[in-house]
Amino acid sequence: MLQTIPDPRTQLISTLSRLRQEWQEAASGESLLNIDANVGLMFADLVNAFGLSIHEQSLTLGPELFGEMQEILASPSQN
């Protein structure tokens, strides 16, 4: 059976579309243009959505933001 290899551009569009849908759900019907968002968390969502390794995440986010995100992820939930 012949297996097709996904086009990287198609994967990119799919990943960004899924991420947008998640943000829209979190916005509870409010337009994303009207949402004040944490840019650091948006970048963290992007590196996670693209399945980057820890090393790639560190390179992408930079040492400060990567360290801050690791601290947030390690801390117990505030809910």
In a domain, 71, yes or no: yes
**Number of domains observed in the structure of the chain:** 1
Looking at residue 78, its pLDDT comes to 56
In a domain, 24, yes or no: no
- At residue 71, does pLDDT exceed 70? yes
Looking at residue 1, its pLDDT comes to 63
Q: Is residue 37 helix, strand or coil?
A: coil
User: What are the residues whose beta carbons fall under 8 Å from the beta carbon of 1, sequence distance 6 or more?
Assistant: none
Structural domain span for residue 60: 37-79
Which residue shows structure tokens 């995100």? 69
Looking at residue 54, its pLDDT comes to 93
- At residue 79, does pLDDT exceed 60? no
In a domain, 79, yes or no: yes
Distance CA 50, CA 38 (A): 19
Alpha-helix runs per DSSP H in 1-79: 8-26, 39-49, 54-74
Which residue shows structure tokens 């040492």? 63
pTM to 2 decimals? 0.72
Task: DSSP letter for 75, please.
Answer: S
pLDDT tens per residue across span 2-54: 777 778 899 999 999 999 999 999 999 999 999 998 899 899 999 989 999 99
In a domain, 51, yes or no: yes
In a domain, 21, yes or no: no
In a domain, 7, yes or no: no
The mean pLDDT value for 62-77 works out to 89
